[in-house]
Structure 1
Amino acid sequence: MATPAVRNCAVLGSPIEHSLSPVLHRAAYAELGLPWQYSAVDVEEPELPRFLRTLDASWRGLSLTMPLKRTVMPFLDDMDLWAEVSGAANTVVLADGAMSGFNTDIPGAIAALQERVPGPFTNAVVLGGGATAASMLLALGELGCEYARLLVRDPSRATQTVETVARAERGPVIEVGTLGDPVGAVDLVISTIPASAQSPALVASADPCPVVFEVVYDPWPTPLAAAALRSGRILVGGLDLLINQAARQVELMTNLPAPVAAMRAAGEGALAARVRP
């Protein structure tokens, strides 16, 4: 039997040193017996075109995080429905000289929620207005959410996200507010903002919300996640999202079933090591 070829994959973004994606993907390759390599590369928006031009035939896949999910779109040769609808791709698969884009954040968010919460969700609050927030809103629409408030630092910068969700077949109706507005008693709050942006007043205003979905996993716990843990509310963590979206990435890149248990064990171990006193 021929030895599998070494292929290169990476996660791109800036900052990128905190990313657990290398841990998850490397664990998957080890479990699958693939001699593949997965690295983390700091790439800012202006640098992305040059980086893409350097990729040779050994490259198979890219994971994209902030701020590149929307930036990569003009360079794709084709894309899946979720990337097209959301206007953002967090995954690129390279084959036969072409780059195919995918958005695994949306199915990943749906899977992460369904693992821990039976639902349904009628109304929700999403904190933040970028590409990840758009994916979370589209995931909520798939889960039957009819109305959502989008709380952002600068409402004028949420226009693209609002327009994206408005075009979706099942997107919720959106009202835009600021991070100074209270979260209140909604079915679910999803935070896509940094821990540093989670003020005590904002966190306290989310106390009536029974379910918290915190997409950030480093630092952990964020103020919002810590409050949910103290009160015993349902908490869906950033690692839950990361594992589910990464499993889909592994399947797209390798054409093999993702070893989710091995990926979860590796991710939980790495995250625990970071938060250990």
Structure 2
Amino acid sequence: MLTETATRLEVWGDPIAHSRSPQLHAAAYRVLGRDWTYDRRQVSEAAFARELASLDDRWRGLSLTMPLKSVAFDAARVRDRRAELTGAVNTLLLDTDGPRGFNTDIGGIVRSLREEGIEGVDRARIVGAGATATSALVALEELGARQVDVVARRPEAVGPLAALGERLGVDVRATPFAASLYSSVPVTIATLPGDAPVTDAAADALATDGGLLLDVVYGHWPTHLSSAWKRAGHPAVSGLGMLLHQALLQVRVFTTGEVEVPLDDEEEALAAMRSAIMGD
């Protein structure tokens, strides 16, 4: 069981100075009347186990960003389905019996897309084949996708995603950036780093029939891809919505112990969190 007196929380990663999680969580806990602290700490992958072992019973939980999601997965005593599917944990609830691991990135993507009117899809596209693409694939499967094209510079990088797709019943197809014609899809999720080089020609080709773009980047906006979507006259949203909603799910975990249990004042908390990072 979680120690009731535990009040400390942090987000860990390397680098970490850019993280907006403290703003989001502080806004939520003010609304919820929780006198908890939420800070940030730079922790490398090599130092993670040592830092985790140093925490005492004042600690309630941790948010994890890159490059710690895999080592957090290994540290968790039990994990939710989304974490098990992706091999990534971005939330640790520090129970006295051992850490419980969750992946709230997937729920963040699903809720962000639904906020943009995407209630379900049968096919979609992911740009990039890194760790975030794994969460994007599971999110699309939860929205009903049965075919997902993954655009990657190295087709072999799509192999793990194709294997995961097979487990989920999703046909994952590797597509090169050089493709002259992409199939039409209602939604594209871009998982590339904000400074990843993408030529205008490639971006324009992806945007032509790419539907809504959810670009998980929020610190480098606009991106090459979002600019191409604008030129094509199609909607594009940044990763701020994903960030907001995955943080709300983390607040659920830290407050209720479960990711699926809504907060008592969830709408008010969400509004405060949205205002903290978006100003509306």
TM-score range for the pair, normalised by the shorter chain length: 0.7 to 0.9
1:24/1:222 CA distance change after superposition, 3 Å: same
1:30/1:245 CA distance change after superposition, 3 Å: same
**2:186 is the counterpart of 1:176:** no
CA distance in 1, matches of 2:51, 2:165: 30
CA distance in 1, matches of 2:271, 2:225: 27
Matched with 1:234 is 235
CA distance in 1, matches of 2:86, 2:128: 15
| Deviation of 1:232 (Å) | 4.0
1:68/1:153 CA distance change after superposition, 3 Å: farther
CA distance in 2, matches of 1:158, 1:44: 27
1:24-39 aligned at under 5 Å gives the runs 24-39=24-39
CA distance in 2, matches of 1:30, 1:182: 51
| Alignment check: 8 A CA contact 1:11 1:40 kept | yes
TM-score normalised per structure 1: 0.87
Q: Which amino acid aligns with 1:156?
A: E
| Alignment check: 8 A CA contact 2:28 2:251 kept | yes
Matched with 1:190 is 189
Paired residue secondary structure (1:195): coil
Q: Which amino acid aligns with 2:187?
A: L
Structure 1 residues 77-86 or 222-231, which shifts more?
Answer: 222-231
**2:88 is the counterpart of 1:88:** yes
Give CA deviations for 1:152-190 in whole Å, capped at 9, x if unaligned: 34333443333233222xx42111234444673322211
CA distance in 1, matches of 2:192, 2:122: 22
Paired residue secondary structure (1:101): strand
1:137/1:80 CA distance change after superposition, 3 Å: same
Matched with 2:152 is 152
CA distance in 1, matches of 2:165, 2:19: 27
TM-score normalised per structure 2: 0.86
Paired residue secondary structure (1:11): strand
Cα RMSD between the aligned structures? 2.2
| Deviation of 1:33 (Å) | 2.0
Matched with 1:21 is 21
Structure 1 residues 219-228 or 87-96, which shifts more?
Answer: 219-228
Matched with 2:102 is 102
| Deviation of 1:261 (Å) | 0.5
CA distance in 2, matches of 1:90, 1:131: 12
**2:273 is the counterpart of 1:260:** no
Matched with 1:275 is none
CA distance in 1, matches of 2:39, 2:202: 36
| Alignment check: 8 A CA contact 1:6 1:37 kept | no
| Deviation of 1:14 (Å) | 2.1
CA distance in 2, matches of 1:230, 1:33: 45
